[in-house]
Structure 1
Amino acid sequence: MDTSPTPAFSALAQHNAASQHGPRPLPLFLNILWRETEGDPELRRRAFHGLRRYQEARRPPKPPAPLAFASAGSAKLLRYGAENGRAPVVFVPSLINPPQVLDLSPSRSMLRHMSAAGHDAYLVDWGTPASDDGHLGLDRHVTERLLPLLAALPRPPILVGYCLGGNLVIGAAALQTPKAVAAIASPWNFKGFALADREEIGALWRGAKPLCQRLGYVPMEVLQSGFWAMDPARTIRKYAAFADTPHGSDEEHAFLAVEDWANGGPPLTYDAGRDLFENFYAANASGLSKWRVGGKAVDPKQLSCPTFSIRSATDRIVPAGAAPEMKQNVTLRLGHVGMIVGGSARQQMWEPLSQWLSSHGG
């Protein structure tokens, strides 16, 4: 059976390619959509309807961004809280996608919740790498970006890292002991990933590496295509479901905000991308305690401060088995993004985390 796109499909692709909003990379998304909906014309129709609706929807105004408290290179430390005599709490997002997932909207902002709960909360914004930042591997993001930001604080902080940000705060804690460390959905032991996923990601990097070397950075489209490859059916189903979401609802606003976040963001520096794909995914350097930061091997079990690992049994991006083992561990059922911005995040994630921060001086 001929499954090549019809002229109408091609015309839609051309129209959407000029649209302001993603998904990125759009040609790959359309190919996945076409493949995953073969034999199901109703699903295909609803997915296209959801896609067009996403691209053309008006976005609600964003809350004003907080002021920068400190900077290091392209990175900034944004302050959400206020001086209260307690330990500052620094939230460190992944280098992949923007930091806004931790401050998604007025009703779905972990940072604003933590500030309202009395924590002197900060958020790291990694910014856009400069043209000469290609040498910044994951280790040097710790030593040349994160640690200088933390040095501007009035007292030792509590560090909270999300996704790859958890790896970076563990690396920082190995060099300078903070009050406490929490890692949320952080990929540490890469043998916890399904072998098929690791092979898929390895093949993706082998194909993209020559271009990334020439560019000096890793475009976010390379990373996004890897996420889509892990669960292509879900990628399409969520757009089909969005076609039926009530207009003006909180669910609509949340979908738009999450997808804009997932389809946005600056590139990774080349060395950080190489570290991620070759040293972490392929060689499991972190899981084997062979990842070195500032010349020191990093092992979360050796950290002397209180530590807390939060993972999810339903996380497709970072399986629970890949999370670091720490002094305190908890497993949720909220998904990789759901544990941060989902409808149950406040009750199951934000409030327990806030209590843990308070119990350690934050």
Structure 2
Amino acid sequence: MAMDTPFDEFLKEWSDNIDKVRTGAGLLSKIRDADVDVGTTPKTLIERRDKVELFRYDPIAERSVDTPVLIVYGLIGRYTMADLQPDRSLVRSLLAKGIDLWLIDWGQPGRGERWLTIDDYVDDYIDEAVERICAETGHEKITLLGICEGGVFTTCYAALHPRRVKNLVLTITPIDFHADVDDPALHRGFLNVWIRSLEASDIDLMVDALGVIPGEFMSSVFSLMTPMRSIAKYNVDLIDTVDDRDKLMNFLRMEKWLADRPDHPGSAGRQWLHDLYQENKLIKGEFALSGRKVDLGAVKMPILNVFALDDHIVPPNCSKALGQKAGSKDYTEIPLPGGHVGLFVSSRSQGGLTKNIADWLTARDG
């Protein structure tokens, strides 16, 4: 029937949405938490120390890159963002390219880990994992693939332990935590601005009282950075997907990852906020771990630096700053479309991310 007035069109759309919600309610009633599976790519546990686990992913293609690659995610979130679902998984895509892939899983830190520092994560846990990978594979050096905060950890490790690092791959990694100040895009750098505005004593008070930076607290901060988007996804976006099981599962997997944000160990969090976000010590050459200053000029191995053009959490300028400080003569930057999370889960950018990393590694293998 032809719609004669805007009101008729409104009624038709309203009726269609009601039908969608009814269909979606039926789908949701049959979905259980176990059905919303993330991080399912098969892997083998190689080593466990405290709550930290080292895994090796099971191969799914003939090996094309000989050098092992260790994925290091940050403490702010869970590594499952890089393995959200089979068709949107950086992990599966790299395995399909024939890469020997390893993973550090930090687990779920709590008050018992309140005294762990970034020194411990870089000079102990990552160092032990690298040594174990070298022992298992017979290689003297490996490739580190750092994501966000994990990219800062791997950069520090590469500067302090260059004998074990053949290549350094960074994705959405902040290096200059104040580079957003000169960024003309107003929607970027809200997190940087907010953290810089905090009183150092308030950060200390939270860490001293709780022992951690609560995951729920950080989740609320990220939501407040894009308030309208955070609200709209539960009505407008959900209505568009609720009657399609595949799209609904995509939505639920992302929500599960967002809800699985771990607590950040207190002492490491204090360094992360004080020394890096507020005082910007890494780019200044003043950031010290285990009594040694992290000199970015000592990072002389080949570097691939991938960042997202629409990243509002780690603005591109914060990542690109490494190019002026690193000592490598083989430095490559690759800007890709998408946001901080979209770089890994968006169908638009994921193929480009995998291809660029795999091609870059292949060219430097041997």
Q: Please tell me the TM-score bracket, short chain as reference.
A: 0.7 to 0.9
* 2:267 aligned to which of 252, 265, 271: 271
Q: CA 1:71–1:238 in 2, change beyond 3 Å: closer, same or farther? A: same
Partner deviation per Cα, 1:114-163 (whole Å, 9 max, x = no partner): 11211000121111226432121222211121111111013221001111
Q: For 2:43, what is the secondary structure of its paired residue?
A: coil
Is 1:216 the counterpart of 2:194? The answer is: no
Q: Distance in 2 between matches of 1:121 and 1:64?
A: 11
Number of aligned residue pairs: 315
**Greater CA drift, 136-145 or 206-215:** 206-215
* 2:132 aligned to which of 130, 133, 152: 152
What amino acid is the match of 2:160? L
Q: CA 1:245–1:158 in 2, change beyond 3 Å: closer, same or farther? A: same
Highest Rg: 1 or 2? Answer: 2
| TM-score, with structure 2 as normaliser | 0.78
Corresponding position of 1:357: 361
Q: Distance in 1 between matches of 2:85 and 2:216?
A: 24
Is 1:140 the counterpart of 2:125? The answer is: no
Deviation at 1:281, TM superposition (A): 1.1
Is 1:186 the counterpart of 2:183? The answer is: no
Corresponding position of 1:33: none
Q: Distance in 2 between matches of 1:150 and 1:213?
A: 32
* 2:51 aligned to which of 74, 94, 104: 74
What amino acid is the match of 1:336? H
Q: Distance in 1 between matches of 2:131 and 2:271?
A: 25
Corresponding position of 1:198: 192
Unaligned residue ranges in structure 1 (runs of 5+): 1-41
Q: CA 1:342–1:300 in 2, change beyond 3 Å: closer, same or farther? A: farther
What amino acid is the match of 2:363? S
Q: Distance in 2 between matches of 1:301 and 1:235?
A: 40
Q: CA 1:290–1:229 in 2, change beyond 3 Å: closer, same or farther? A: farther
Is 1:125 the counterpart of 2:105? The answer is: yes
Deviation at 1:208, TM superposition (A): 6.0
Q: For 1:169, what is the secondary structure of its paired residue?
A: helix
Contact residue 178 and residue 318 of structure 2 kept, 8 A = yes
Q: Distance in 1 between matches of 2:80 and 2:359?
A: 23
Corresponding position of 2:322: 325
* 2:151 aligned to which of 166, 169, 189: 166
Write 1 or 2 for the structure with the bigger share of helix. Answer: 2
Corresponding position of 1:3: none
Q: Distance in 2 between matches of 1:159 and 1:97?
A: 18
Q: CA 1:264–1:214 in 2, change beyond 3 Å: closer, same or farther? A: same
What amino acid is the match of 2:315? P
Q: CA 1:151–1:247 in 2, change beyond 3 Å: closer, same or farther? A: farther
Deviation at 1:104, TM superposition (A): 0.9
* 1:235 aligned to which of 225, 230, 239: 230
Unaligned residue ranges in structure 2 (runs of 5+): 1-13, 182-188, 324-330
Partner deviation per Cα, 1:319-353 (whole Å, 9 max, x = no partner): 10111423111211211111111112332211111
Deviation at 1:61, TM superposition (A): 5.3
Partner deviation per Cα, 1:211-261 (whole Å, 9 max, x = no partner): 431221111012112212322122222333122215344432222112211
What amino acid is the match of 1:174? A
Is 1:335 the counterpart of 2:326? The answer is: no
Deviation at 1:202, TM superposition (A): 4.2
Write 1 or 2 for the structure with the bigger share of strand. Answer: 2
Identity of aligned residues (%): 26
**Greater CA drift, 80-89 or 330-339:** 80-89
Q: CA 1:303–1:208 in 2, change beyond 3 Å: closer, same or farther? A: closer
What amino acid is the match of 2:56? R
Q: For 1:286, what is the secondary structure of its paired residue?
A: helix
What amino acid is the match of 2:168? V
Q: Distance in 2 between matches of 1:208 and 1:247?
A: 44
Deviation at 1:299, TM superposition (A): 3.8
**Greater CA drift, 104-113 or 196-205:** 196-205
Q: Distance in 2 between matches of 1:55 and 1:209?
A: 43
